[in-house]
Structure 1
Amino acid sequence: MSNPHGGSPAASATYPCGGCGARLEFSPGTNVLQCPYCGFRQEIQASGQQIREIAIEELGSLPRKPVGQLAPYTLVCQRCSAQTQTTATAGLCQFCGSPLVLDPNATGQIIPEGVLPFAVDHNGIRTSLGKWVSSRWFAPNSFKKVVNAESTKGTYVPHWTYDSATFSHYRGQRGVHYYVTTRDSNGNTRTERRTRWYNVSGQVSRAFDDVLVPASMALPVDKVDDLAPWPLPEAQPFQQQYLAGYYALRYDVEPENGLGEAKSRMSKVINEDCRRDIGGDAQRVDHVNTNFTNVTFKLMLLPIWVATYMYAGKSWQILINGRTGEIQGERPWSKVKIALAVVAALIALVVLFLVFRKH
């Protein structure tokens, strides 16, 4: 297969070790490339670039190809000359294991503005996974044997971020509670809470900064969202060196579609702003009209450790935030443990019943 521009296979950047000649990889939690064999370290020099916010009006002038027209890339390893076909923009040579990082200008896509480098290494993953597995009380005991740090794959996942100033007009109702006491024919009284509703309207404004929208559907979006929060202020201007030794997905969600999702996420926050502005004891929001202005966006790469394992003939996946160690994942359930827990709960209820019956 050809590269996205229909030309010859694309050479990928590698970083030779100055000590033993092997290939350097980015070392999590540092700002250096390090040799996994001899320990040689090479600092990543500042590029002098800044992470830019791009006005949405500039989107049409950016050089890019539609996602649907992109073919897999053919990467050429600079160490063994092998060719690897992939849809990732960074990975490892399938023959010699050398890091492969595609020139962002050769991807046919919008170039990332920033990257949040990995900070959690394999030792950190081992600790986080150990705690996570141990806390899955109702998972089979054998589950612990198949989940390990060595099976994880460090992957940079693309995200769109959006900024916007918003000004919203709303219509709704403010509810005020009041209480009514009634008396039945036997003289018994009962107090009921009722709500009196008043029509209201108003306006709220809010500035949104870095609303994140996953730009790849390769991983479950809800699980990726649950890895938040991300320390975005710690992001670095994009440089290929941060990807050395890791995988990087290309985006398959166009920025226009991402903006629609971002507005939907902003609207949920705006709805809560309207409720607070309405006040009272209860609120109804009937209609909100929002004007989005000064909209900007950028492409960011966020670090996720991905673990996929087989258990009971089924594939399971675990995602780990590469900065904080937060884990979101799937796990099997032990029917035996659940059954024993149910039996124990029933026995406890019977014992409590007998104790109270005696008294």
Structure 2
Amino acid sequence: MQSTPQQTSELKKACINCGAELRYAPGTTELQCEYCNYKQEIPPALDDFQELELSNYLNQLGAQSHSEQITMLHCKNCGANQHVEENYKSLHCVYCSMPLVVEDAYKDDWILPGAVLPFQLDQQKAHQIFKKWVDGLWWAPNKLKKASLDPQYTKGLYAPFWTFDAQLYANYTGKRGEYYYVTKTVGSGKNRRTVRERRTRWYPASGSISGFIDDTLIKASKQKKGVIPKKVAHWDLRKLETFRSEFLAGFVTEKYTIPLKDGHLEAKKEARNIADRWARRDIGGDTQIVSSIDMKLSKETFKHILLPVYISAYRFKGKRYNFFVNGESGKISGERPYSFWKIFFAVMGVLAVLGVIIYFMNRN
């Protein structure tokens, strides 16, 4: 049964004391008013999050179930599709900071998220991590640490991902390699010496493997700018909660731009990599060659999940630099400027030391 539009994702939560909009307080199960500090407990989910049957959605049979409408803004600069809460005073793309035009807002259907990993760090903590990172940069200009870095441009984003589960079965053929060593003499005259040389005996191998693949994580969005670095794109999926719109309050939510079918193709590539690793483990020996794998996936399910990341940028001498903080672990990755003069004088110093060493070596 299709959800009533806006029933789940866009229901605003107002403070019963002052009427202001409540926001999710990271690391808790509470909504909080930033004006009067009123707190409201988020009710626990009645059910665990669901794994949806993949074939129904790929065949469009289940496309209308577990779906709803959401108000979206499309960034014409980087292509991100994002739902921006009304309480943001200035609407700018969370990825590239270009202005978003409210009049361009439109309604769009999306597969309702099945699970969400709530933010564990608040905006202030994310900005502290960023400032500590800046203070520890080598070769950065001294003035960078004194630059005006406004925390309001650090925004929390729930980024969309697909996860896929499947039962894997495969037949394989290949070879098992076992090492052995021979002693041989090489060189001649004074350079004549004995060495041990490793060689490999190969034996034919074949067999079958099977197992369950759980939560293959595939990103569900792509942008021209501001791509979340792999360095910070690691979350503990054991902390996933059944989707509740309260966790989104006060944050930007991005809509997937990579369709489910394309995400499934990427998941199948990863499944083949997993099958290759399992086959090599099954073959054993010291080294392996996998010649062929006939892989079949069954009982395939998926879910649309939202994962937390803080995204922002700072300007230094007119140039924009992006940085990202994982909203669960606090891991940071970012772009940074380099000081030409620091690097120049360091290189000159090294050359000067080498020159002195060479001078004294030549005198001796």
- TM-score interval, smaller chain: 0.7 to 0.9
- Cα offset, 1:146, TM superposition: 4.7
Q: Measure how far apart 1:324 and its partner are.
A: 0.9
State the secondary structure of the residue aligned to 1:162: strand
How big is the shift at 1:215? Answer: 0.8
- Which residue type is aligned with residue 19 of structure 2? G
1:163 aligns with 2:168: no
SS in structure 2 at match of 1:13 = coil
Deviations 1:303-333 (A, max 9, x none): 1111123334433211111111111222222
Equivalent-residue separation in structure 2 for 1:136 and 1:120 (angstroms): 23
Distance 1:342 1:286 in 2: 51
Secondary structure at the counterpart of residue 337 of structure 1: helix
- 1:287–1:149: structure 2 CA closer, same or farther, 3 Å change rule? farther
Aligned pair partner of 1:88 in 79, 82, 86? 82
Q: Indicate the residue corresponding to 2:126 in structure 1.
A: 125
Structure 1 stretches lacking a partner, 5+ long: 1-6, 75-85, 98-105
Change in Cα spacing, 1:336 to 1:176, as seen in structure 2 (3 Å) is same
1:24–1:36 contact (8 Å) kept in structure 2: yes
1:270 matched to which residue of 2?
Answer: 275
Quote the residue 2:29 is aligned against: 31
The answer to whether residue 232 in structure 2 is matched with residue 227 in structure 1 is yes
**Compared CA separation, residues 320 and 93, structure 1 to 2 (3 A):** same
1:63 maps to which residue?
63
Of residues 46, 50, 61, the one that matches 1:48 is 46
Contact 1:90–1:244 at 8 Å: present in 2 too? no
Pair 1:300–1:334, CA change in 2 (3 A): same
Q: Does 1:200 align with 2:198?
A: no
Identity %: 30
Q: Distance in 1 between matches of 2:184 and 2:122?
A: 65
Of the three residues 310, 320, 324, the one matched with 2:315 is 310
Task: Return the alpha-carbon distance in structure 2 between the equivalents of residues 107 and 275 of structure 1.
Answer: 45
CA distance in 1, matches of 2:188, 2:311: 68
Deviation at 1:132, TM superposition (A): 1.8
| d(CA) in 1 for partners of 2:28, 2:344 | 48
* Structure-2 change in CA distance of 1:220 and 1:280 (3 Å): farther
* Counterpart Cα distance in 2 of 1:269 and 1:186: 52
Structure 2 CA distance for aligned equivalents of residues 221 and 274 of structure 1: 38
- Which residue, out of 152, 169, 174, partners 2:154? 152
- Cα distance in 1 for partners of 2:61, 2:360 equals 77
Match of 1:344 in 2: 349
Matches within 5 A, 1:268-347: 268-347=273-352
Q: What residue number does 2:195 align with?
A: 191
1:41 positional shift? 0.8
**Structure 2, unaligned stretches of length 5 or more?**
74-79, 92-106
Tell me the equivalent position of 1:80: none
Structure 2 counterpart of 1:79: none
Secondary structure at the aligned position of 2:125 is classed as helix
Amino acid at match of 1:226: K
Q: 1:159 Cα shift?
A: 0.7
| Deviation, structure 1 residue 191 | 1.7
Query: Structure 1 length as normaliser, TM-score?
Result: 0.79
Q: Is contact 2:10–2:70 with CA below 8 Å preserved after alignment? A: no
Contact 2:20 2:33 in 1 (8 A): yes
Q: How far apart are the structure 2 equivalents of 1:162 and 1:26?
A: 28
SS of 2:85's partner is strand
Change (3 A) 1:307 1:96: closer
2:209–2:279 CA contact under 8 A, matched in 1: yes
The 3 A distance-change label for structure 1 pair 287 and 163 is same
Q: How many pairs align?
A: 329
RMSD across aligned C-alpha pairs, in angstroms?
3.3
Q: How much has 1:117 moved relative to structure 2? A: 0.9
Is 2:182 aligned against 1:179?
Answer: yes
TM-score normalized with structure 2 length: 0.78
- Measured after TM superposition, the shift of residue 141 of structure 1 is 2.7
How far off is 1:351 after superposition?
5.3
Q: Please name the residue that 1:139 is paired with.
A: 140
The one-letter amino acid of 1:307's match is S
Residue 143 to residue 219, structure 1, CA distance change in 2 (3 Å): farther
Matches within 5 A, 1:252-263: 252-263=257-268
CA, structure 1 residues 90+51, in 2 after alignment: closer, same or farther (shift >3 Å)? farther
SS at 1:339's partner residue? helix
Contact 1:317 1:329 (C-alpha < 8 Å) held by counterparts: yes
Cα offsets for 1:57-114 (capped at 9, x unmatched): 221322359xxxx99748xxxxxxxxxxx942342346699xxxxxxxx741111111
Deviation larger for 50-59 or 281-290: 281-290
Measured in 2, the distance between the counterparts of 1:46 and 1:167 equals 37
User: 3-state SS of the aligned residue for 1:63?
Assistant: coil
Quick check: 154-163 or 222-231, which moved more? 222-231
